[in-house]
Structure 1
């Protein structure tokens, strides 16, 4: 078996530039944006883009993976703050708000992925990390008496799936105001 060589520093930088540009270009122009335009926006040759991502499906899956990683990092950071401050309910609410805003900004990327039949990015490590952090965060909130005792992680996922990400920030804020009484005991 041939050992896997780590990517060179310039390859890592190019991959990051491609992912950043792809997310922005797809969000701005939609899924019909060409790979050439994404390469131009990233400041790399189209061959460099194809070396990293042989198909648009591969590229979209990687962009989605970056988003899921960011959500998992946020969930873990929320848990750490709750453990330090003792206010789990504030972290649950803040997490939901941040995910709704982040998803609104990545809505076009996710719509493009669904249009190409991308179900996910294959690696579920980040989903597992996010789930474990959120489950613990909910348990802390329940122990404090601030989160309804019947709320589950599946309920949180259901709420996140119903967030009005294609709507304005005002509508997303109203969505949050409407769902909070259903999950907390302390917010109206």
Structure 2
């Protein structure tokens, strides 16, 4: 078996530039943006783009996967802060706010993924995020702050209703309105 060689530094840089440019171009111009435009925005030759991503679907899947990995990293960092003594409800609230803000630019990429029928194959980052959010919820429930019936699926439901197409003030107001629904003080034990 031949040992796998690590990618060259310039290849890693090019991949990062391509992913960043793809996210920006899709957010600005939608799913129809061309690979040539993405390559130009990344400052790479179109052949370089195609060496990394043979088609747009592969590129969009990679952009979505990178976004999900950032969310997972953020959720795990929040869990680590709670383990170190931070307040779980505060960390969950801040996490929700950060994900909604990140989704403002990444929603176009998600729409492009749906339009292209792109399905990320690796669910590891989603699993990491779900496990970290579940830990935040459990600690918040043990603290008596988060309602006993709140689940990770509830958090995903909230994300799906976030007003990512609205101004920042509307997004902040949305968070203010939904957070009481997650808390013991925000609703009765029955509701």
SS of 2:6's partner is: coil
Q: In the alignment, does 2:183 pair up with 1:184?
A: yes
Aligned to 2:90: 90
Report how far residue 4 of structure 1 moved.
Answer: 3.0
SS of 2:14's partner is: helix
Report how far residue 187 of structure 1 moved.
Answer: 6.2
Report how far residue 3 of structure 1 moved.
Answer: 3.8
**What's the TM-score once normalised by structure 2's chain length?**
0.93
Aligned to 2:66: 66
Aligned to 1:102: 102
Listed as ranges, the gaps of 5+ residues in structure 2 are none
* Pairs within 5 Å for 1:163-178: 163-178=162-177
Deviations 1:56-88 (A, max 9, x none): 000000000100000000000111111223400
Aligned to 2:17: 17
SS of 2:26's partner is: helix
Report how far residue 186 of structure 1 moved.
Answer: 4.8
Report how far residue 113 of structure 1 moved.
Answer: 1.1
Deviations 1:70-114 (A, max 9, x none): 000000011111122340000010111111111111111111111
SS of 1:171's partner is: helix
In 1: Cα distance, 2:112 partner to 2:179 partner: 30
* Pairs within 5 Å for 1:20-59: 20-59=20-59
SS of 1:33's partner is: coil
Aligned to 1:115: 115
Listed as ranges, the gaps of 5+ residues in structure 1 are none
Deviations 1:14-41 (A, max 9, x none): 1011001111111111111111111011
Report how far residue 51 of structure 1 moved.
Answer: 0.3
RMSD in angstroms over aligned alpha carbons?
1.4
SS of 1:106's partner is: helix
Report how far residue 50 of structure 1 moved.
Answer: 0.1
SS of 2:84's partner is: helix
Aligned to 1:151: 150
Report how far residue 118 of structure 1 moved.
Answer: 1.4
In 1: Cα distance, 2:56 partner to 2:19 partner: 11
